[in-house]
Amino acid sequence: MKLVTFLLVPVTYLMAANSFPETHKEPVIETIHGVKITDNYRWLEDQESPRTREWVKSQMGYTKSFLDAVPGRARVEKRLGELMRVDSIGVPHEAGGRYFYSRRPKDSSQPMLCLRQGLNGAEEVLVDGNKLGKGKSASLFEVSNDGKMIAFGIRQGGEDEVHLKLMNVDTRRQLEDDLPRARYYGIVFAEDHKGYYYATMLKEGPRVYYRAIGDTTAKLIFGERYGNQYGIGMRQDDTGRYILFSVWLGSSGDHTEVYLLDTKKGGPVRVVVDDLPNKFSAAIGGDEIFFETNWKAPKGRVMAAKLSNLDRSKWREVIPEGQWPLENMHLVGGNISVTYLENVVSKIRVYSTAGKMLREVTQPGIGTANGLFGRWGSNEAFYQYQSVSTPPLIQRYQVTDGATKLWAKMDVPFNADQMEVKQVWYSSKDGTKIPMFLTYKKGLQLDGNNPVFLTAYGGFNISMTPTFSATAAYWAENGGVFAVPSLRGGGEFGEAWHKAGTKEKKQNVFDDFIAAAEYLIANKYTRPEKLAISGGSNGGLLVGAVELQRPDLYGAVLCNIPLLDMVRYHMFKIARFWVPEYGSSEEPDQFQFIRKYSPYHNVKGGVKYPATMFISGDSDTRVDPLHARKMAALMQSLSGQVKPMLLHYDTEGGHSGGLPIEKVISNAADNFLFVESQLGIAH
């Protein structure tokens, strides 16, 4: 039972010792499951109200004036520009002898969607993201099996939603058929090119439709029984005849249903699996469906079912569960490519459909590879590799003999030879061993005086593997230590590792992160005054929580696109997806453990909190920016708070990227200027 009281009180204006912008209180008192909670800044949840817009404007001005006063912007932006403004290229998708990929030349603001006719053909630009208009970007959604049609999305700022458009690749002309701005999970073309299937999210839930080319109406195909806590993805086989629908509950993918549509025979959609609370990622190869699943295998295995007989008793195990977690599966060249994580390092292995291991794909070093991408009937595949010290490169792989050749790489002006990269292990509060990657210049002195940038995620079965970032490169080459621990809640060691950081066990994630900071301090890498922490999205919740639980450990906090009001998070945008991960305050028992760590509900007066910059923007249509707005107001209201509490708010910023490279560089510079000013770093 929840009682809500809107108190009509005189407006109270607050001015902290740090001369923060004025924010008035309008207390809303709720009694939730017998607990009284006061929210002074509920009014800031209304993003479009004139009061909120005026408040945001004042916060943006205050933050800008603060950052403008920090010396060194030209130096920081110059180096970040050198690291970020480089030719970048995505993994190609081959279809019909055509190679489709995205590329952003170093002198461009936005990526372009490109085509090569043949592997060594001249590059053609199909869609130039630099010519779409202010704040817009393009991304490739789907290519038809014969390479004659593509679907691409136009995104405004960092929104998740896109405007879907279709193109006839033969004529290079866009079709009049397009789909309005919405959240789309996928699109596939009918084999005869007379129409297309697409999955989208409506207010009531996800739905799959078929629409004929040139028609303005769409036919509902699948999904009518699912509510808005579900999502639906699609995958087509190489023949175009079969389409797999994957239905997932929540964002972790740990409860999936699979259905099969035979577009040639027609008839009802067939159930493949709908009654097991496990992960199933399915693809069709020949006359079988192959599943990557954790059903009766917490670290994952591969199973197969005949298209002609989906009875579960006839399924066969192809690749059994092993010592290490199975991260992904792809079907290429009549074989199965599987990526494992061995102590958080990628290993790609190729198996026959009978389950025989054919070979391991040789990697250039200890890093992250994203699996082989190709087609069931083709001998050719591609994969991307990167490490902390190696910028992304794309390899072309021959499935039959394992021959590998470099297809493209990013030339980043970065001297990897001067860097030390190592993995250490430390004990969390309950004794669990946690791995952490450290990057720094060779010859680092362990004297407790090094600035450390500590970042992590810890959720949704997402693994924090060793990857290259301009952030890490900049920090390390300037004498800092860049630290990335693999916290529980992620997928680094299988489903048990993930579940150990969800719902009532979420505190394990915070304990793991706190223990990482304590390890770095105890082992003389740094001291609290020199330790900055950063996290985004679920990682924003992480740093928001640990900042309140152990404010003595950190000198600066970057809290990016965060979840912070966990009592109300599930009420906004697509957050119903995350209830399987966090729980919901609507349930009395779950409310109790959520309230204990919810950052917005655990701020205490009289505590010396570290300097913090909350980062969000209007175009975040995934995690509502209200979290950052409310938390910034609350932290600024604390009496005696002398450290900076800033709101970095970008009206075009969001969860899905899309910002021009100039803005990306500028925002990254803002982050470093804030952190360096608070850690006392001078160059």
Residue range 71-79: mean pLDDT, rounded: 97
How far is the C-alpha of 508 from the C-alpha of 487, rounded, in Å?
Answer: 8
Residue 19: predicted pLDDT = 85
Residue 651: predicted pLDDT = 81
Residue 13: predicted pLDDT = 27
E strand map for 263-300:
270-273, 280-285, 288-293
Beta-bridge partners for 486: none
Return the active site residues: 537, 655
Helix ranges, 488-537 (H): 495-499, 507-522
Residue 264: predicted pLDDT = 93
Residues 6+ apart with CB under 8 A from 603: 548, 634, 635, 638
Residue 2: predicted pLDDT = 35
* Percent with pLDDT over 90 in the chain: 92
Residue 683 clears pLDDT 80, i.e. is over it: no
Residue 6 clears pLDDT 50, i.e. is over it: no
User: Using 50, 70 and 90 to split pLDDT, how confident is the model at 8?
Assistant: very low
Dihedral angle sign, alpha carbons of residues 136, 139, 144, 148: positive
Residue range 58-65: mean pLDDT, rounded: 97
Domains of the chain: 2-81+414-679 (3.40.50.1820)
Residue 184: predicted pLDDT = 97
How far is the C-alpha of 284 from the C-alpha of 566, rounded, in Å?
Answer: 40
> Which residue in this structure is represented by tokens 């390890």?
519
Residue 18: predicted pLDDT = 61
In the three-class reduction of DSSP (H, G, I as helix; E, B as strand; rest coil), residue 414 is classed as coil
618-662: per-residue pLDDT in tens?
A: 999 999 999 999 999 999 999 888 899 999 999 887 888 888 999
> Which residue in this structure is represented by tokens 């025989």?
356
Residue range 281-308: mean pLDDT, rounded: 97
How far is the C-alpha of 461 from the C-alpha of 351, rounded, in Å?
Answer: 25
Residue 3: predicted pLDDT = 33
409-424: per-residue pLDDT in tens?
A: 999 999 999 999 999 9
666-681: per-residue pLDDT in tens?
A: 999 999 999 999 999 9
125-177: per-residue pLDDT in tens?
A: 999 999 999 999 999 999 999 999 999 999 999 999 999 999 999 999 999 99
Beta-bridge partners for 206: 201
Residue 240: predicted pLDDT = 95
For residue 488, give the DSSP letter.
Answer: B
Residue 90: predicted pLDDT = 96
* Percent with pLDDT over 70 in the chain: 97
**DSSP 3-state helix, strand, coil percentages of the chain (rounded to 5)?**
20, 35, 40
Residue 16 clears pLDDT 50, i.e. is over it: no
Residue 476 clears pLDDT 50, i.e. is over it: yes
- pTM of the shown model: 0.95
User: Using 50, 70 and 90 to split pLDDT, how confident is the model at 4?
Assistant: very low
Residue 1 clears pLDDT 90, i.e. is over it: no
The rounded mean pLDDT for the chain is 94
Residue range 258-283: mean pLDDT, rounded: 95
Residue range 363-392: mean pLDDT, rounded: 94
